[in-house]
Amino acid sequence: MEGAAILNLATLLDSEFSDTVDCILNCHGRVVVTGVGKSAIIASKIVATLNSTGTPAIFMHAADAIHGDLGTIQENDVVICISNSGNTAEIKLLVPLIKRGNNKLIAMTGNLESYLALEADHRLNTYVEKEACPNNLAPTTSTTAQMVVGDALAISLLKIKGFTSKDFAKYHPGGALGKRLYLKVEEIVLNNQRPEVDISAGVKEVIVEISQKMLGATAVTENGNLVGIITDGDIRRMLNKYDNISGLIAKDIMTSNPKTISSKVLAVEATKIIQKNGISQLLAVDGNKYVGVVHLHNLIKEGIL
């Protein structure tokens, strides 16, 4: 029932929705979102979504507003009032107070004939036929519809403002999501050891370097320039190919032109290269200079992969 109600919301979109978007875009203050009961909880969620997508917003409980919190609303703010019926006592008391301050009032309601809808400057229609509750009492379908319209409003504003992933990162610096948006390759390789052997290094030196640095590979350099990589797999292939390995050097067993990534790019780009090529390690470079190794385990540990 809730799914069907959400699909039906698309048929209710009209010029009132775009007018509401324009109203908020032209607002020089914040978006104050208010409601009572379950609608108040939805209002709080909508505020969080607006704030995280670049539209300053604040929550005000409708019942608390008439007991002192009305001061939350500043001169240039726009107010979104959420009420399925649009006729609750708290809403009827609050609406005249909002209008007295000359703030634009947006009604999010399932009843366009309600007191709230008739008094509002703009109306967001969240009509649902009935609640999912078998008694048609508990706010279920109606609150889901409110949240969906709130999301649609936030995303419309985001797109019009040209809000990018870099902007998003400013508001989400924590957790895996934030790391995908700001963590760079150079920050990861700093925490790893830096395996490296010269192109003329003997096989024993190569094996020791791979074992000690514990990244399953080592870079091969010549005069400071990166020329190849030797992995655990290259060592196994060497043992299968040669009966006598005493005279071999790094050049004989390395993989030339290894996969690399700039140390200055986001770590999430390393994830794409590693997944695309089915490899475990990626060599980080700064220009032609070898910087270090990004390992699959680093990306898992950071929550990027």
The pLDDT of residue 176 is: 62
Q: Please give the full DSSP string across 208-248, using - where no structure is assigned.
A: HHHHHHTSSEEEEEETTEEEEEEEHHHHHHHHHH-S--TT-
Query: What's the average model confidence in pLDDT over 45-64?
Result: 95
Q: Please give the full DSSP string across 168-213, using - where no structure is assigned.
A: HHHH--SHHHHHHHH-BHHHHHTTS---EEETT-BHHHHHHHHHHH
Query: What's the average model confidence in pLDDT over 37-48?
Result: 96
Higher pLDDT, 185 or 183: 185
Q: Could you read off the pLDDT of 250-292 as tens digits, one per residue?
A: 999 999 989 999 999 988 899 999 999 999 999 999 988 899 9
Residue 305 confidence class, pLDDT cut points 50, 70, 90: confident
Q: What is the mean pLDDT of the chain?
A: 92
Q: Tell me the binding residues for Zn(2+).
A: 61
Residue 165 confidence class, pLDDT cut points 50, 70, 90: confident
Residue 230 confidence class, pLDDT cut points 50, 70, 90: very high
Residue 211 confidence class, pLDDT cut points 50, 70, 90: very high
Q: Helix or strand or coil: residue 294?
A: strand
Kindly list the structural domains of the chain, giving each domain's residue range(s) and its CATH number in brackets, ordered by start. 2-163 (3.40.50.10490), 185-301 (3.10.580.10)
Query: What's the average model confidence in pLDDT over 27-31?
Result: 96
Q: Could you read off the pLDDT of 142-154 as tens digits, one per residue?
A: 999 999 999 999 9
Q: Tell me the binding residues.
A: 61
Residue 168 confidence class, pLDDT cut points 50, 70, 90: confident
On whether the CB atoms of residues 216 and 295 are closer than 8 A, the answer is: yes
Q: Give the pair of three-digit tokens for residue 38.
A: 């379950």
The pLDDT of residue 113 is: 97
Q: Could you read off the pLDDT of 78-118 as tens digits, one per residue?
A: 999 999 999 999 999 999 999 998 899 999 999 999 999 99
300 CB-near residues (< 8 Å, 6+ apart): none
The pTM (predicted TM-score) of the whole model is: 0.68
